[in-house]
Amino acid sequence: MPARLEVWGDYACFSRPETKTERYSYDVMTPSAARGILEAIYWHHGLQWRIDSITVMNPIRFTTVRRNEVSAVASADTMRSAITSGKPAPVIYTSERIQQRAATVLRDVRYVIEAHFVMTSEANAGDTPAKFMSIFNRRASKGQCFHEPYFGCREFPLNFRLWESEETPQGFEAGRRDLGLMLYDMDYSNPKDIRPMFFRAILQDGVLNTEYVRTMS
């Protein structure tokens, strides 16, 4: 039986990679963001979450905000070099690097994530799908999480609860909407060459179905 999780919040920003400076959100939550929410609630090395669909419950609305960011990012290579050499790691001072940037974000969002998981080779002998699903359902029903889940950016926290209704969640609109290319997830098969994977995102009756993407990949 798949896991169904309802998530909602005031704002969300699932940034398009082509607009990194002035952030502009995708129209709906990306599958990788949905996976991150599930992992925030329950992660285990013996399972991998697979997103089946995302139902968009509220109409898609945008708003513009200004956010404080910094003009530099910490380099992993520089940090690694500092650790191996014993030299002090470089520091980014917010007061010196702060910049205000515009962001076009989603507002008043609500989704129902439907997903399942697959067992991995790192699962323990006593681990079973029923055990993992029971743990996830218990944690989600009690509001427990390893870290606070969020909608794309940490300043946009979300609320969550199990979708316990026997009725299928309904999208906010009928018909077909083409959302264009969207980030599906990152390909970690080669840790030295991590690559993004994109797919043609279609909303059918308010539902983003990703099952066919896994079939093709």
Please tell me the number of Cα atoms within 13 Å of 157 on its side-chain side: 4
Q: What integer pLDDT is reported at residue 214 of this predicted model?
A: 56
Q: What integer pLDDT is reported at residue 78 of this predicted model?
A: 77
Q: What integer pLDDT is reported at residue 187 of this predicted model?
A: 86
Q: pLDDT band at 215, cuts 50/70/90? A: very low
Q: What integer pLDDT is reported at residue 192 of this predicted model?
A: 85
Task: Supply the mean pLDDT for the chain.
Answer: 89
Q: Distance between CA 168 and CA 2 in Å, rounded?
A: 12
What is the average pLDDT across 148-175?
94
pLDDT at 138 > cutoff 70: yes
Give tens-digit pLDDT for 42-98. Answer: 999 999 999 999 999 999 999 998 877 777 777 777 778 877 887 777 777 777 777
What is the average pLDDT across 154-183?
94
Give tens-digit pLDDT for 9-33. Answer: 999 999 998 886 788 999 999 999 9
The top-scoring range by mean pLDDT among 72-81, 116-125, 185-194 is 116-125
Considering the domain 3-216 in this protein, what is its CATH number? 3.30.70.2660
Domain-wise residue ranges, the chain: 3-216
